[in-house]
Structure 1
Amino acid sequence: MKKKTSFSTKGQRADIGDLTIYRMLANRYTDAVGPFVFLDHIVPKMHPSTMNSGTGAHPHRGIATLSYIMEGEDEHFDSAGNYAKVYSGGIQWMKAGNGIIHDETLNIDSQTGSNRTHAFQFWINLPAKNKAEKPEYLAVQSNEVPQKKLPNNAGRIKVIVGNFEDLNSKIPNYSEQFLYHIQLEPGKNFTISIDQRIEVAAFLPTKDATLNDEEFQAGEFVEFDRNAGEIVFDNKLPEAADILLFGGEPYTEPIVAEGPFVMNSRVEIAEAYRDFYAGKYGNIKYEKSESNY
């Protein structure tokens, strides 16, 4: 049985510097899909050799941030001393835990010379017991992202988070969760089965696609019901299409989000701000971080 669509929507504009951004999650219909509580789509864009694309140093607590760079170069600094650059196809993952400050800058890819950028940032909510843990960080380059061909030469699937068949992402799991990048060839289709109660959404970043016989436009965020069933992706276009599919088990603890913090109560939000202003998240030492790379 095919899963039914719960809703579809397009994001709100939320530009930063030279980057054109659409905020897809949270939206007017839902605050979360499984553990995912935030999704910004940095849309494909051509840039000159210099860009103003940094978020600036800012704190997080209670979540893991995940940046998936389809095109471009992402540079990461944080107050725990972590530093790395990932390039087109790579991933930056950071568990904020009990508090960290980070700074990310998206730029053109110095390895390929391409002047296009295209990326996504997700926030993954942590279970209450993990919100108090120390921060962690992981950089995953494109060649480290598990992927495989789809049946019948339909395309490829990349496992950004979670697992699919024999593929397992390096990104830690604190609950059942998954994030797939499906690349579907022209005239091809692919079917995936979703278990009962699992929350799941699809996002079409650049091309139209047909999901369970219903046509959706590029830029649409589509959430499905929680009944067990299949999602059939059809690409009726003369060119390949990209689809992000993500979700997981429902987050059953209270969710209280404010600014860069996602906690389980208003008291914890107040504590997060108090600890930040008290300097407990540390400071980014940019020169030291670069020297350790």
Structure 2
Amino acid sequence: MANNKLLVNERKADLGNFMVGRLLPFRKKRQVGPFTFIDHMGPSTLSPGNYFDVDQHPHIGLSTLTYLFHGEIEHKDSIGSRQIIHPGDVGFMTAGHGVTHTERTPAERRKESMKMHGYQVWVALPREMEEMEPQFEYHPAADIPTWMQDSLTLKLVAGNAFGKSAPLQGFSPLFMVDIHAREKSTLNLRNQLQGEVAFVIVEGAIEEEDMRVEAGQMLISKTDEQCEITLEAGARVLLFGGAPLPEERYLLWNFVSHSKERLREAKEDWKNREFPVVAGDDTYIPIPDRF
């Protein structure tokens, strides 16, 4: 493997009734561009009594981006946002100095079985914006730039790539692209992306030089130069990345900051119930002992 590439395997984690595969952070690579955390949700089948329910929990210093292939999630937060996120939609909550939220299967979908599959990624905020006011953006699937390139379907979920711009820009140079191959195809990324890039294999497999990367794995390249991938027929790949932030970012549970002291402060604030709350919700996820 070339020195500028890393191969990462999903590590399974249990979120109550739901399993996720964690791809980032990784021991040898803590961020890709401004992306600090990537969770693969599912694929799973939810049924009565076995729903997606993440109780009230806090964030600081980051934005959470939710993108689904199947299923629905109802997002509620402490600034009053309520939004059901459907397949192909983009939900983007920016925590800034502090926000809490819940993520659940919508009430109207709790009497049926439903396939659930998607990703949630965290994007670190630039240092000067870490304490900004919280906000929530929602972009429906119909607004996401989508185009064909040979036998590939590409969707620009966020940022700028392939000469196009998404409605969701974030707060630093980044990109997230959803690519699906109907037939075996080669994609040349030279001059199409800027910054570090991660290839997250959702379905099928890709080949890069002499390497085969399969579903459940992520290939990280520190540069987009001379980057060309071959997608097998039926493969689905997410591209993440962008310009790295100039300062290192630290993670403590659900908090991200350039300052370890700020992380400790957020931890104590959550323990002391000093964060804002989601209206009408009295649930509370305590910070795990290991933090």
TM range (shorter): 0.7 to 0.9
- 225, 229, 234: which one pairs with 2:225? 229
1:286–1:241: structure 2 CA closer, same or farther, 3 Å change rule? farther
Matches within 5 A, 1:110-259: 115-150=114-149, 152=150, 154-193=151-190, 198-226=195-223, 228-237=224-233, 240-259=234-253
How many residues are treated as equivalent by the alignment?
278
Unaligned 5+ segments in structure 2 are 282-291
- 1:270 alignment partner in structure 2: 264
User: Any idea what the Cα deviations from partners look like across 1:167-219, whole Å, max 9, x if unmatched?
Assistant: 32222321110111111122222221258982111010221221245211211
Q: With structure 1 as the length reference, what TM-score do the two structures score?
A: 0.87
Q: With structure 2 as the length reference, what TM-score do the two structures score?
A: 0.87
Looking at structure 2, the residues matched to 212 and 43 of structure 1 have their Cα atoms a distance apart, in angstroms, of 29
Looking at structure 2, the residues matched to 72 and 197 of structure 1 have their Cα atoms a distance apart, in angstroms, of 32
CA contact (8 A) 1:209 1:241 kept: yes
- 1:291 alignment partner in structure 2: none
Shift of 1:26: 0.6
Matches within 5 A, 1:14-163: 14-106=13-105, 115-150=114-149, 152=150, 154-163=151-160
CA contact (8 A) 1:70 1:88 kept: yes
Looking at structure 1, the residues matched to 134 and 27 of structure 2 have their Cα atoms a distance apart, in angstroms, of 31
1:234–1:109: structure 2 CA closer, same or farther, 3 Å change rule? farther
Percent sequence identity over matched residues? 25
Looking at structure 1, the residues matched to 264 and 256 of structure 2 have their Cα atoms a distance apart, in angstroms, of 11
User: Any idea what the Cα deviations from partners look like across 1:214-239, whole Å, max 9, x if unmatched?
Assistant: 2112111101133x5233232334xx
Where 1:92 maps in the other structure, the secondary structure is: strand
User: Any idea what the Cα deviations from partners look like across 1:128-154, whole Å, max 9, x if unmatched?
Assistant: 11111100101222212221111x2x2
1:79–1:85: structure 2 CA closer, same or farther, 3 Å change rule? same
User: Any idea what the Cα deviations from partners look like across 1:38-65, whole Å, max 9, x if unmatched?
Assistant: 0000121223245331111000000001
- List structure 1 segments (4+ residues) > 4 angstroms apart after TM superposition: 106-110, 194-197, 277-280
1:255–1:202: structure 2 CA closer, same or farther, 3 Å change rule? same
User: Any idea what the Cα deviations from partners look like across 1:261-285, whole Å, max 9, x if unmatched?
Assistant: 1111121112223444455431111
1:89–1:108: structure 2 CA closer, same or farther, 3 Å change rule? farther
Looking at structure 1, the residues matched to 185 and 245 of structure 2 have their Cα atoms a distance apart, in angstroms, of 34
Looking at structure 1, the residues matched to 154 and 173 of structure 2 have their Cα atoms a distance apart, in angstroms, of 19
The one-letter code sitting in structure 2 at the alignment partner of 1:94 is M
The one-letter code sitting in structure 2 at the alignment partner of 1:72 is G
Looking at structure 2, the residues matched to 215 and 56 of structure 1 have their Cα atoms a distance apart, in angstroms, of 38
Unaligned 5+ segments in structure 1 are 288-293
User: Any idea what the Cα deviations from partners look like across 1:236-267, whole Å, max 9, x if unmatched?
Assistant: 34xx2110111111121132211111111121
The one-letter code sitting in structure 2 at the alignment partner of 1:267 is E
The RMSD of aligned alpha carbons is 2.4
1:194–1:43: structure 2 CA closer, same or farther, 3 Å change rule? farther
Where 1:171 maps in the other structure, the secondary structure is: coil
Looking at structure 1, the residues matched to 203 and 107 of structure 2 have their Cα atoms a distance apart, in angstroms, of 19
CA contact (8 A) 2:46 2:52 kept: no
